[in-house]
Amino acid sequence: MSLPKHVSIIMDGNGRWAKARGKERLFGHQAGTESVRQAVETAAELGIAYLSLFAFSSENWGRPKVEVDGLMELLVRAVHAETPSLIENNVKLLAIGEISHLPVQVRECFGQSVRDTACCTGLQLILALSYSGTWDILQAANRYAADLRSGKVEANGLDAALFESYLSTSGIPHPDLLIRTSGEQRISNFMLWQLAYTEFYFSQKLWPDFRREDFLEALEEYAGRERRFGKTENKQ
């Protein structure tokens, strides 16, 4: 089976999952952490090189305070509890996004886990936190402009490869497969630049119901796709 090198997931539907059970939205986020664990374990076991998860978008700050605070607490608890198992599974944790906007406990907890897993050589788990695709492109443009002003880079030398080096995903290959759960079919301001030639897979399942076998099904469908990157199948 042809495996994607980099899988991205927009984990959607936690709120609806909780509502269907007459519970608070946080109950759905809590249930979603088990799906996260299964996706990480499966990706690590199969030898997928990169798994990126859209855990908290720049727009999610606009949710009710109780939900935002609860999600932050959940992230701290999950990262703290799972770090030993990340190390055991040789998984290296990375975080991308406006990390400076996160509460101090979240920054410290992630910083610690990133340091503790820095020597792991297996799956690279990228958590997008306070992340948006427009933010990523703008921060890259601003950092490039600053380097231009200081003379660190030459004017009129900007190409895709140089611009890429300023993105938060610099050094990470573009996602081959993007999975989105809950039946919604949109990018929602995820990696706008990086998804240029990504294959999309939409699942009807809500994120807390998306487990190992669903992940495997997405990989199987990906394996059957023909990727041409704008070229024809045959060069003749």
Catalytic residues: 12, 60
Residue 97 as a binder of ligand FPP (CB under 6 A): the answer is no
Core vs surface per residue 127-152: b (16+ CB within 10 A) or e: bbbbbbbebbbeebeeebeeeeeeee
For residue 78, which phi and psi values (nearest 5 degrees)?
Answer: -65, -45
178, 197 in Cβ contact below 8 A? Answer: no
Name the DSSP letter for residue 4: P
- Measured between alpha carbons, how far is 11 from 34 in angstroms, rounded to an integer? 12
Query: Cβ 218 to ligand FPP, closest distance in Å?
Result: 17
Residue 11 as a binder of ligand FPP (CB under 6 A): the answer is yes
- Measured between alpha carbons, how far is 45 from 85 in angstroms, rounded to an integer? 13
Q: Hey, which residues between 136 and 195 contact ligand FPP (CB under 6 A)?
A: 182
Interface stretch with ligand FPP, choices 27-35, 140-148, 197-205, 227-235 (CB under 6 A)? 27-35
Single out the residue of 4, 8, 12, 203 in contact with ligand FPP (rule: CB under 6 A).
12
**Residue closer to ligand FPP (CB basis): 207 or 222:** 207
Residue 14 as a binder of ligand FPP (CB under 6 A): the answer is yes
The alpha-helical segments, DSSP class H, found in the chain are 14-19, 25-46, 65-88, 104-116, 133-149, 160-164, 212-223
Q: Hey, which residues between 32 and 51 contact ligand FPP (CB under 6 A)?
A: 32-33, 36
Site string for ligand FPP, 51-90 (x = CB under 6 A): --x-x----x-------------xx--x------------
Query: Cβ 182 to ligand FPP, closest distance in Å?
Result: 6
Nearest to 125 by CA among 97, 93, 95: 93
**Residue closer to ligand FPP (CB basis): 73 or 217:** 73
What's the one-letter identity of residue 157?
A: G
Measured at CB, which residue is nearest to ligand FPP? Answer: 15
- Measured between alpha carbons, how far is 146 from 177 in angstroms, rounded to an integer? 33
**Residue closer to ligand FPP (CB basis): 11 or 48:** 11
Where does this chain bind ligand FPP (CB under 6 A)? 11-16, 25, 29, 32-33, 36, 53, 55, 60, 74-75, 78, 127, 182, 207
